[in-house]
A and B are shown apart, each in its own frame.
Chain A
Amino acid sequence: MSNGDFHSSIHPSDLVRTATVGLRTRPLRAALSALGIMIGIGAMVAVLGLSESSKSELLDQLERLGTNLLTIEAGAGIGRGDAELPDESVDMVGRIAPVEATSYVIDVPVNVYRTDLIPEAQTGAISVKATEPGLLETVGGTMGVGVFLDDATAAYPAAVLGSVAAMRLGIDSTEGTPLIWLGDEWFAVTGIMNSLELHADLDRSVLIGEAAANEFLAHDAPPSLIYVRAEPEDVLTVADVIPSTANPQFPDQVEVNRPTDALEAAEAADDTLTALFLGLGGVALLVGGVGIANVMVISVLERRSEIGLRRALGATRRHISFQFLAESSLLAGAGGTAGVLLGAGITAGWAYYRGWDTLVPPVALAGGLIAALLIGTLAGLYPALRASRLSPTEALRT
C-alpha cells in the first residue's frame, strides 16, 4: 500500500477563479479597498508624468531659445560705486574665437510718452535703450509688426517697441507711422517686437539707434548690457574668459550670466516638489496597502466556513493561502491598473491644457503596477497565513 499517491491539485484557471470569489461576492468592498491603491499609484504616475512632460517642454524651450546666449554687464561691486563696461568691450568680446555674434544696449535716461501733453510723472515704467541693428538676431527676437532698426533708421529718430512697452503706449500697429514723445523729441515707431521669453527688460523698452541717441538726445555712454552668442559647445569656456577680455583692468567688475540658467533653476525647484509629491503618493499607497490587509483579515474571519468547506473538498493549506494571497494581489493589481490609467489620464489632460507633449515614462507605468502587486502580496501574506492555518474542524464550526 503506497501512501504517496494522493495529492490535491487544482486546474490553473481555477486558481484565478477562486481568487476572485471575494471580489465577485463583495464587489463594493473590493472596489473601496482597491481605491486606496488607485489613488496612491495614480498620484505617483501623474507626478512623474507631469514632471516628465514639463521637463520635455523645458528642453524644447531651451532648444528653441538656445543655451548659448550670454549676457555681460558691469557688476556693481561693493565700495566701487557704479562700475561701467569699457567702450571697447563689445569689440573685444567679439574677437574671442568661438563668439558668433555680439550686440549691446545702452541705457538712455529719458522717459517716453504717447504725446507731449502727458504729464511728465506718468512715465509708464518704460525704459529707453540705444542699440544697433544686429540686436534682434543676437537675442533671437522676432518682429510682431513693422521692421527692426536698420543701418539707415538707426541714425534717425525712429523707434522699435518692446511688446509690453507697445501695450503701455497703446500702439498695436505701425500703420500711419505713429509718433512717440521721447526725451523732448518726436520719434517714429517703425516696428513692434514679439515678446522675448528670456528678455523681459527688452519687452518693456523702447529701442532707438545709437547714432540717433547721440544726435537727438546727446547721449553717449558705454554699453550697459552686452549680448554674446557663442558656439554651443564652448559657452562655458567663453564665459570664463569674458571678464578679463571685456575689462582687462577690472575683470572682477564684469558679471556674466546665462539667461537659460534661470529656467533650469526653476526646473530644479520643480524636482524638489516632484520628490515631495512622490513621497505623498507613497504614503497614500502605504495606507492603501494597510486598507487591503485590513479587508483581507476581515474577509478571512467572515469566510471561515468557506475555508472549512474547501479543506473538506480537498484543498491543501497551500491552496487556501494561495487563494487569499492571490485575491489580495488581484485587489491591489486592479487598484494599480486603475491608478496607472488615472495618472496617465491626468498627465494627458494637463499636458493638453498646457499645450505640452504628453510624456508618461514607461518606467512609471510598469513600476506603478509592480509596486501595487508587491504591496498587495505583502498585505495578503498575514491574512493568507491565518486562513491556511485554520484547522478544518474549527473553520466548519460556524
Chain B
Amino acid sequence: MNVPVLELKNVAKVYPTTPPVHALRRIDLTVDSGELMAVVGPSGSGKSTMLHIMGTLDRPTGGEVTVAGYRVAELTDSELSGLRSAHIGFVFQAFHLLTGYSALDNVADGLLYTGAALDDRRERAVVALGTVGLSHRIGHVAAQLSGGERQRVALARAIVGDHSLVLADEPTGNLDTKTSEGIVELLHDLNDAGTTIVVVTHDLEIAETLPRIVRLRDGQVESDRSKVVA
C-alpha cells in the first residue's frame, strides 16, 4: 500500500526574527499509509517545527504540505482544525492530560471536536483504552496514573479517532527506560494494526527500533533510511 498520507514538498520555515531563523530548508518527505517512522536530530535541527507543520499546527513559509490528500495551503484556519480532528492524532512529551478528568474522558476528548455525542465517544474510548492495555484504569484520574500509564492514555486519545496519521513528539521524553520500551512496543503494535505513526525523538536507541529513520540537521534531511524488513 503506497498511498501517501503526508507529503512535504520543498517545505521551508523561516521565523521572522532578526536575524531570521531558517528552521526548515527545502524538506522533501513522503509518509505512506501504514508506515512507522522516526525523525531524529540534535536540538535545534528543526524536528519540532517539522512535526508542527506535519500536524498543520503551523504553516510553512515555503513549499507545499499535503495531508490525507488535502493541500494545507488551500485550507482556512478552521478547516485545518477540521482536518486535524478527522485525520491527525497527537502524542506529546508532557502527555497533556486534563487533570481531574478520568482516563476514559481524556481519551473520549480525542473525538471531542468531531461532534460525536459523549456516550458514543466514551464507547470508543473504552475500546481504545483496551488497545493500549489500560482497561483496568478507565475510571482513574490523571493524578492516579503512573507516567507510562499517562502516556498510554495519551496514545489511546490519539488513536481513538482512527486517524490517518499519529504524530508523537518525544513520547518517551518524560519516561524511564523500561517504561519507554513498553511505549515503543505499543507503537509497534498500533502500527501493526494499521496506524501510520511518525515519532519525533532525540533518543537514537528508540529510533533504531523503528523501520524508517529520517535524520535532520540544520533544517535539512541528512539521511532517510528504511530498514529492510525481513
Contact = CB atoms under 8 A, between A and B. Distances in A.
B114 A314 contact: yes
A24 interface: yes
Contacts of B70: 1, 3, 6
Interface stretch (B27-35, B91-99, B178-186, B187-195): B91-99
B110 A313 contact: yes
A310 B77 CA distance: 14
A314 B113 contact: yes
B115 A306 contact: no
Contacts, number: 111
A10 interface: yes
A138 B116 CA distance: 78
A313 B85 contact: yes
A393 B115 contact: no
Nearest to B93: A396
A9 B113 contact: yes
B81 interface: yes
Give the size range of A's interface with the partner: 35 or more
B58 interface: yes
A310 B78 CA distance: 13
Nearest to B73: A3
Given A392-B58, A393-B52, A393-B57, A314 B96 contact: no
A25 B99 contact: yes
A313 B58 contact: no
Given A1-B69, A315-B113, A6 B79 contact: yes
Judged by DSSP, the binding face of B is mixed
Which DSSP category, helix, strand, loop or mixed, fits chain A's interface? helix
Contacts of B157: 313
B118 A21 contact: no
B150 interface: no
Given A305-B94, A312-B55, A3 B74 contact: yes
Contact of B113 (A24, A317, A319): A319
A312 B158 CA distance: 10
A7 B78 CA distance: 7
A313 B85 CA distance: 5
Interface in A1-26: 1, 3-4, 6-11, 13-14, 17-18, 21, 24-25
Interface in B112-130: 112-118
Contact of B84 (A3, A9, A314): A314
Interface string B55-81: 101100000000001110011011111
B42 interface: no
Given A9-B115, A311-B84, A398-B94, 8 more contacts: A3-B71, A6-B82, A7-B82, A8-B81, A8-B82, A10-B112, A313-B85, A391-B58
